[in-house]
């Protein structure tokens, strides 16, 4: 069984770590961002009361695997945000920083194993422990519980996948039949002090009406979950 829920907001931003003054976003939630979302809903302890950069919830996410589906077309939006100038307030009390946001995003998340049972309890009751948001604190997420679905193998080698596809060894995609595809390398797992451990390349569509057609799956785990064919990220 897999627990499925959706998250939407007016804006979202999953900041690329190498951007500083001008914040630039990944085009979709990274697995590390989804990990924080799961931790917020289920109330996993992160230890920030002792160290501000702590992320102890990663130890509780072991054995959890996820899949990510984009339900709204990818649209960008640029804004300039006022911040307090804490370094030199005598010169100018505010500084203006450009931000790149995703406009009106909506995502569907599939969760299996690990914290799934605790997640299902909160989602089914419509509760959460910490406020869920999409990347940044001013992008508060609206959470919708979709259900708890059985999943099973996809018999045919060729499959039209609804979700983001982690690019695994020996994977082959029919780009022409898929109507094109985008490739990105995204952070996949962090340590308990937020150091990057692993990244993964992914393939995705910016139009939710299109699906990625797989010719060969290689090491990729593809299953049917409800009515969708889902490509799973490896378990944390």
Domain containing residue 212: CATH number: 3.30.70.3120
Predicted local confidence at residue 79, as pLDDT: 87
Residue 90 placed within a domain: no
Total-model pTM: 0.92
pLDDT at 149 over 70: yes
28 vs 84, residue with greater confidence: 28
pLDDT at 134 over 70: yes
Domain residue limits at 26: 2-85+95-232
pLDDT at 22 over 80: no
Question: Per-residue confidence at 87, pLDDT binned at 50, 70, 90?
Answer: confident
Average pLDDT of the chain?
A: 91
Predicted local confidence at residue 49, as pLDDT: 66
In the beta sheet, which residues pair with residue 81?
97
Q: Is 8 helix (H, G, I), strand (E, B) or coil?
A: strand
What mean pLDDT do residues 73-93 have?
A: 84
Number of structural domains found in the chain: 1
Q: Is 64 helix (H, G, I), strand (E, B) or coil?
A: coil
Percent of the chain with pLDDT over 70: 99
* Candidate from 89-103, 109-123, 195-209 with smallest mean pLDDT: 89-103
Torsional sign, CA 99, 233, 38, 226: positive
Residue 209 placed within a domain: yes
Predicted local confidence at residue 153, as pLDDT: 83
pLDDT at 191 over 70: yes
Question: Per-residue confidence at 48, pLDDT binned at 50, 70, 90?
Answer: confident
Question: Per-residue confidence at 156, pLDDT binned at 50, 70, 90?
Answer: confident
User: For the stretch 178-203, what's the b/e string if a residue is b when 16 or more beta carbons lie within 10 angstroms of its beta carbon?
Assistant: beebeebebbbbbeeeeeeeeebebb
φ, ψ at 85 (rounded to 5°): -85, 90
Predicted local confidence at residue 230, as pLDDT: 94
Please check whether residue 8 is in contact with residue 142, taking contact to mean a CB–CB distance below 8 angstroms.
yes
pLDDT at 222 over 80: yes
What mean pLDDT do residues 200-212 have?
A: 94
């Amino acid at each position: 069984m897999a627990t499925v829920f959706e998250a939407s907001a007016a804006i979202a931003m999953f900041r690329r770590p190498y951007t500083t003054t001008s914040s630039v976003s990944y085009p979709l939630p990274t697995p590390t961002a989804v990990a924080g979302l799961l931790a917020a809903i289920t109330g996993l302890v992160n230890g920030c009361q002792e160290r501000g950069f702590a992320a102890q919830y990663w130890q509780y996410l072991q054995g959890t695997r996820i899949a990510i589906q984009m339900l709204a077309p990818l649209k960008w939006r640029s804004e300039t945000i006022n911040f307090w100038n804490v370094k030199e307030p005598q010169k100018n009390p505010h500084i203006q920083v450009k931000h790149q946001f995703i406009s009106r995003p909506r995502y569907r998340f599939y969760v299996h194993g690990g914290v799934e049972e605790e997640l299902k309890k909160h989602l089914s009751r419509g509760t959460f422990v910490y406020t869920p948001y999409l990347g940044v604190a001013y992008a508060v997420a609206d959470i919708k519980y979709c259900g708890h679905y059985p999943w099973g193998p996809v018999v045919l080698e060729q499959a039209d996948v609804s979700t983001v596809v982690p690019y695994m060894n020996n994977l082959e995609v029919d780009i022409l039949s898929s109507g094109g595809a985008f490739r990105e390398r995204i952070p996949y797992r962090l340590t308990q002090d937020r150091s990057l451990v692993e990244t993964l390349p992914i393939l995705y569509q910016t139009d939710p009406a299109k699906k990625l057609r797989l010719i060969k799956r290689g090491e990729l785990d593809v299953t049917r979950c409800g009515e969708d064919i889902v490509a799973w990220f490896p378990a944390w």
